[in-house]
Amino acid sequence: MNIHIINGPNLNLLGVRQPEIYGHETLGDIEKKMRQIFEQKNVALHFFQSNSEGAIIDALHAARYAHNADAVVINPGAYTHYSIAIRDAVAAIQIPVIEVHISNIHAREPFREHSVVAAACRGRIEGLGWNGYRLAVEYLLDALQPNN
Ligand code: CA2
């Protein structure tokens, strides 16, 4: 199994500011924890972060067409709320994509409530901190079993 985990703008600052919203883990800490948790599980995890919309779209295309990924976990950051281009890329790659948000986007400013990406995704996990990434990969490992 080959799963790509894509993080969008400002998520490279995790752990540096606003820990009450986003927790104390840096993106590097999250990657390390994920690699430890899944190292025995027959899954290759590929991590990517960019602050640029186009680079995220390229990473979605590459996941499917260059790296033959089985699925993607994406936290599009603030692009969640307005990037039709990222939504179109999610829809275009035709593999399962899970949207993850570290914070509960329904318990914050009203402009964060709506995701334009969500409808193109298999599902969404939000408000559970970095564990959202872990739960998304656990779901995919189960859902993508040949007999499911
Ligand atoms: O809760 C999430 O995971 C978000 O995708 C995070 C985005 C935000 O725009 C979305 O509405 C919800 C922002 C990430 C910003 O991360 C920071 C981390 C530390 C310091 C400042 C920003």
CA of 95 to the centre of ligand 1 (A): 25
List % helix, strand, coil for the chain (3-state, nearest 5): 45, 20, 35
Range of the domain at 83: 2-143
Residue 87 lies in a domain: yes
Residue 148 lies in a domain: no
d(CA 27, CA 13): 8
pLDDT tens, residue by residue, 75-90: 999 999 999 999 999 9
Catalytic residue numbers read 22, 101
CATH of the domain at 101: 3.40.50.9100
d(CA 126, CA 40): 26
The whole-chain average pLDDT of the chain stands at 97
Contact 121, 90 (CB under 8 A): yes
pLDDT tens, residue by residue, 132-143: 999 999 999 999
pLDDT tens, residue by residue, 33-82: 999 999 999 999 999 999 999 999 999 999 999 999 999 999 999 999 99
**At 121, phi and psi to the nearest 5?**
-95, 160
Ligand 1 within 6 A of CB of 101? yes
Residue 74 lies in a domain: yes
Contact 134, 37 (CB under 8 A): yes
Query: How many independent structural domains does the chain possess?
Result: 1
Per-residue confidence band for 146, with pLDDT thresholds at 50, 70 and 90 = confident
Atom of ligand 1 nearest to the CA of 78: 9
pLDDT computed for residue 16 by the predictor: 86
